[in-house]
Structure 1
Amino acid sequence: MQESKRFRITKRRLLPLILIAIAVALIFVMALLKPVPPESTAKEKAWPVQTVTLDAQSRSPQLRLLGRIETPYQSTLSASVTANVEALPRLEGQTVERDDVLIELDDTEVKLLVAQREADVAELESQLKQEQNQFASDKRLLAREKELVAIAQSGLDRENKLQASKLSSQSRTDQASQSLQAAEISMVNRELAVANHDSRRQSLQAKLARAEALLEQSRLDLERTEIRAPFAGVIVSIQVSPGERVRPGEVLATLYSTRDLEVRAQIPMQQAGFVAQSLNKSEPVTAQAKLGQTTLNLTLNRLSGQVNAGAGGIDGLFRFEGEAPAAALNRTLDLTLNLPSQPGLFAVPVSALYDEHTLYRVTDGRLESVEVQLAGDRFEKGRQQLLVRSDALKTGDPILTTQLPNAISGLKVERMGSADSTEQAQ
């Protein structure tokens, strides 16, 4: 009885173990019967890339500059007389031609002054004419008075002889002497009048010249009651209104010339030396600017005579080729400056440069790093290109333009197209 019971207990304990053993055996058999896949050899991946074909040429590096339109001809017009503002034929922002009237002043007071100056001149001219007539008369009378002196002298001599002969009285002799003295005094006064003629004439001429100068000044003041444009340009501001009374020196208007516009832009010091050398050799330094949809051509006229404190370059002053555009003063423009041309430069997209000095040439489907020297930038059809030089590169070399995060010499690549053809398609 006990043995039977012990057998049942042993049977219950062994049954799970038997089931586990059977399951393990089945799994082992299935693993043995599973088909084994054929072994495959790992294939190296080829990265799809785009390239550009190099072409060595003489190229001009370019700089992007920020310019501002200005002019050396900007005038501030002020009043020359004291007068009331009568009218404003032109207003701020209007375009004017040379000698156009900008402001009209009341000329009543100035006309009165002109009339007074004209009267002064007429009076002095009359006095000068009187002096000429008096001089002519004095010369004629002087000859007569000399004759009278001679007659008086003869009379006195005759009376003296008669008195010596006791034929005449002393009183007649004294009377003849007085007549001689009176004639001599009159003659001396006439001689003095004739002698002083030149000084009186010069004095009157000086007064007349002063009066004529004052008259000319008053006539100029009369002309200046019309404030005119000194050149063709645009009115920046009108600082008076009709009815205001202005005084000499008071600012009335400001305008600038539209025919002498310049663009001021700062050229970095690194390139300023090359630009200055070109100017000294009379070689043109050109630039382009966009104004709306219009491309403007400019030529560097000169460099500024000073470098502002804290500035990283020197200001260049550019003149427009042909007619200056209708642009407001102080407007900013984006300039593209063409630096002197350099031989043997390659133009590549920005994406072709790695680590600021490395390009990758594609040789037999693999990358090859090449050290290059960066010469500058160039902007073609709105796209930036890098200009580089290297003795290890030549015309026709394909250069990687796709940015690969794992670019390294020896990396296998597959050329999918050319960056040149892609740009042409765009």
Structure 2
Amino acid sequence: MRFLARGLIGLMLFAATFAAIGFGVYRVVESVSRDEVRRRPPVQERSYSVNVAKLTAEDVAPTTVVYGQIRSWRKLEVRASSEGRLVEVDEDFRDGQAVKEGDLLVKIDPADAKSGLLDAKAALADADSQKAEAEEAVIAAEQELEATRKQLDLRRQSLDRQRQLLKKGYATMVQVEQEELSLAAMEQSLSNRMQSIITARKRIGRMDLTVERADNVLRDAERTLEETEIRAPFSGTLDQVNATLGRRVSTNDALAVLIDSTALEASFTLSTSEFSRFLDDQGKLIHAPVTVELDLGGKSIKVSGHLERAAAVVAEGDAGRQMFASLTVEAGTILRPGDFVTVRLQEPELTQVARVPAAAINAAGELLTLDDEQRLVIVQAKLLRRLGDEVLLADVPFGTTYVSERLPQLGPGLKVAPRGTEDTQDVPSREGGRRPVAAVSDTSSAGQQMVALEAPRRDELISKVNRRNMPAERKTEILQMLNRPMVPQSLIDRLESGGRGQPG
């Protein structure tokens, strides 16, 4: 029993010893953990610095930018109207030369035209003479008809006397028959005279046509003579000139092309969606203002105009519409048909839209906005237009702050630090004033607050470091930290308080 008691006592002492050792180990571990927790800074939620702006409603008249070519809607092919030799060519009859209305361009040898004019005048005079003869023949035929009628009356009276004498027995039947034959012959003569008058009058009608034809030939001859001198019908610029002195030309030979430099228009193509922007409620084309710009390297020429019409047909394989804009240009303009130009068309005004940078939305048209806790919220916007580096949006919450530059790591629910003109903070300067400093943008794993400095304040801190006497390696390290986008707040505090600016 004594052995058992001693064994139990030893076992209890052994257990007590192990319990004491375990308690001591627990207190040491707890003490070490408490010291580590005390030295470890509190964990803060990481936030991203973002550029923000306000969604404001405005009325915008977008501009559609396309490329096109200049063309002239008024051209004239200068052609030879008659055959002959070029006896005169104006010194201004050259490619690219500007001419005025009525200027003499070339002259064809007029000898043949003058000869034709003389023949036409002679033919007209002959026709007039024959017409006069026909008119005089009608007068003579009418006089002969009148004389024949008188003779016919006398023959009738003589026949009546012979019949009366026959009844009284003083005349014979032979005498009566002779008078009847004479009367019949006179009636035949009267009929012939009437037919002669009809023929003479018809001849006058034919001679009228002859005179008219001769007159037309005369006018043609005069026009042919006049057209031996080819003059500019309107002011313009010459192109494709093909005329030399002494060259023999045939009728309708091309000599040049005259282009009206003031009758210019721009031809360009709009896609179907762009074309629909320039239709009114009735589906008719609106006369939208147009600006055409010709880039000449260091100088550009701008001309205004308006949208005028669309092409009559759509070419096979093409999409959209070919459009034409009428331009307002003055004489002597530098624009030429064939110039490749930039065309800007002013669209109808869009009301209650937001203009934001194109980097603020993604391909799906989603916009990141900030809630009251500075966390990101996705807003689905309606994309109306893309205007270079900007876009126009509708159906957005106006007055809300949005992220103006969407970064790949940003997503809904993340906490951000806004950076912008509306979200800058004021911190006291050493002179007692207030200096704008961007909001805290990030918290490093070591617990250091990182801030973005304004350019004036960054330059001031760099100047302080350069004036200080410190090792070159340390000065270089501090300057590198100051030139980074985000600078530790502790380094800024040391430099502004006058301490040694050692990087923490």
**How would you bin the TM-score normalised by the shorter chain?**
0.7 to 0.9
Q: 1:125 aligns with which of 118, 123, 128?
A: 128
Residue 335 of structure 2 is matched in structure 1 by 327
SS of 1:369 mapped into structure 2: strand
- The alpha carbon displacement at 1:362 in A equals 4.0
- The alpha carbon displacement at 1:290 in A equals 1.8
Cα separation, partners in 2 of 1:284 and 1:166, compared to 1, 3 Å: closer
- The alpha carbon displacement at 1:151 in A equals 6.0
Residue 312 of structure 1 is matched in structure 2 by 319
Query: Do 1:301 and 1:317's aligned partners in 2 also have CA atoms closer than 8 Å?
Result: yes
Cα separation, partners in 2 of 1:278 and 1:62, compared to 1, 3 Å: farther
Residue 103 of structure 1 is matched in structure 2 by 106
- The alpha carbon displacement at 1:67 in A equals 1.5
Residue 416 of structure 2 is matched in structure 1 by 412
Cα separation, partners in 2 of 1:321 and 1:385, compared to 1, 3 Å: farther
Q: 1:371 aligns with which of 369, 373, 380?
A: 380
What is the distance in 2 between the residues matched to 1:247 and 1:322? Answer: 37
Q: What aligned pairs does 1:83-102 form with structure 2 within 5 A after superposition?
A: 83-89=84-90, 90-102=93-105
Residue 492 of structure 2 is matched in structure 1 by none
Query: Do 1:72 and 1:260's aligned partners in 2 also have CA atoms closer than 8 Å?
Result: yes
Q: When the two structures are superposed, what TM-score results if normalisation uses the length of structure 2?
A: 0.64
What is the distance in 1 between the residues matched to 2:376 and 2:328? Answer: 47
- The alpha carbon displacement at 1:241 in A equals 2.4
Query: Do 1:367 and 1:413's aligned partners in 2 also have CA atoms closer than 8 Å?
Result: no
SS of 1:204 mapped into structure 2: helix
Residue 59 of structure 2 is matched in structure 1 by 58
Amino acid at match of 1:88: V
Cα separation, partners in 2 of 1:316 and 1:239, compared to 1, 3 Å: same
Amino acid at match of 1:249: N
- The alpha carbon displacement at 1:72 in A equals 2.8
User: What is the root-mean-square deviation in Å for CA atoms of aligned residues?
Assistant: 3.8
Deviation string, structure 1 residues 389-425 (Cα, Å, up to 9, x no partner): 234x213x3332335232223142340448xxxxxxx
Q: What aligned pairs does 1:238-253 form with structure 2 within 5 A after superposition?
A: 238-253=241-256
- The alpha carbon displacement at 1:280 in A equals 4.3
Identity %: 21
Note the residue ranges of structure 1 that are not aligned, 5 or more in a row: 1-34, 419-426
Residue 361 of structure 2 is matched in structure 1 by 353
What is the distance in 2 between the residues matched to 1:102 and 1:140? Answer: 61
SS of 2:279 mapped into structure 1: helix
SS of 1:238 mapped into structure 2: coil
Query: Do 1:67 and 1:333's aligned partners in 2 also have CA atoms closer than 8 Å?
Result: yes
1:194 aligns with 2:170: no
Q: When the two structures are superposed, what TM-score results if normalisation uses the length of structure 1?
A: 0.75
- The alpha carbon displacement at 1:252 in A equals 2.3
Q: What aligned pairs does 1:206-221 form with structure 2 within 5 A after superposition?
A: 206-221=209-224
- The alpha carbon displacement at 1:288 in A equals 2.2
What is the distance in 2 between the residues matched to 1:288 and 1:45? Answer: 51
Query: Do 1:287 and 1:298's aligned partners in 2 also have CA atoms closer than 8 Å?
Result: yes
Residue 291 of structure 1 is matched in structure 2 by 294
Query: Do 1:238 and 1:252's aligned partners in 2 also have CA atoms closer than 8 Å?
Result: yes
Amino acid at match of 1:308: A
Amino acid at match of 1:412: V
Query: Do 1:49 and 1:417's aligned partners in 2 also have CA atoms closer than 8 Å?
Result: no
Aligned length: 376
Amino acid at match of 1:316: M
What is the distance in 1 between the residues matched to 2:98 and 2:121? Answer: 38
What is the distance in 2 between the residues matched to 1:229 and 1:278? Answer: 45
Query: Do 2:135 and 2:201's aligned partners in 1 also have CA atoms closer than 8 Å?
Result: no
Amino acid at match of 2:339: R
Residue 423 of structure 1 is matched in structure 2 by none
1:388 aligns with 2:368: no
Cα separation, partners in 2 of 1:116 and 1:178, compared to 1, 3 Å: farther
- The alpha carbon displacement at 1:353 in A equals 2.2
Query: Do 2:357 and 2:405's aligned partners in 1 also have CA atoms closer than 8 Å?
Result: no
- The alpha carbon displacement at 1:283 in A equals 4.4
What is the distance in 2 between the residues matched to 1:272 and 1:256? Answer: 30
Deviation string, structure 1 residues 22-75 (Cα, Å, up to 9, x no partner): xxxxxxxxxxxxx99943345555544433332212323332211211233222
What is the distance in 1 between the residues matched to 2:415 and 2:242? Answer: 73
- The alpha carbon displacement at 1:135 in A equals 1.8
Cα separation, partners in 2 of 1:317 and 1:141, compared to 1, 3 Å: same
SS of 2:280 mapped into structure 1: helix
Cα separation, partners in 2 of 1:260 and 1:179, compared to 1, 3 Å: same
What is the distance in 1 between the residues matched to 2:220 and 2:377? Answer: 85
Query: Do 2:294 and 2:340's aligned partners in 1 also have CA atoms closer than 8 Å?
Result: no
- The alpha carbon displacement at 1:272 in A equals 2.1
1:344 aligns with 2:349: no
1:136 aligns with 2:139: yes
- The alpha carbon displacement at 1:123 in A equals 0.8
- The alpha carbon displacement at 1:193 in A equals 2.4
Residue 26 of structure 1 is matched in structure 2 by none
Q: Which shifted more, 186-195 or 297-306?
A: 186-195
Query: Do 1:279 and 1:285's aligned partners in 2 also have CA atoms closer than 8 Å?
Result: no
Q: What aligned pairs does 1:37-76 form with structure 2 within 5 A after superposition?
A: 38-41=39-42, 46-76=47-77
What is the distance in 1 between the residues matched to 2:402 and 2:238? Answer: 56
Deviation string, structure 1 residues 98-124 (Cα, Å, up to 9, x no partner): 343333222221121111111111110
Task: Name which structure has the greater RCO, CA cutoff 8 Å, separation 6+.
Answer: 1
Amino acid at match of 1:345: V
Q: Which shifted more, 182-191 or 293-302?
A: 182-191
Query: Do 1:287 and 1:337's aligned partners in 2 also have CA atoms closer than 8 Å?
Result: yes
Amino acid at match of 1:352: A
What is the distance in 1 between the residues matched to 2:229 and 2:402? Answer: 71
What is the distance in 2 between the residues matched to 1:66 and 1:414? Answer: 41
What is the distance in 2 between the residues matched to 1:167 and 1:60? Answer: 122
SS of 2:337 mapped into structure 1: coil
Q: 1:113 aligns with which of 99, 109, 116?
A: 116
What is the distance in 2 between the residues matched to 1:139 and 1:406? Answer: 119
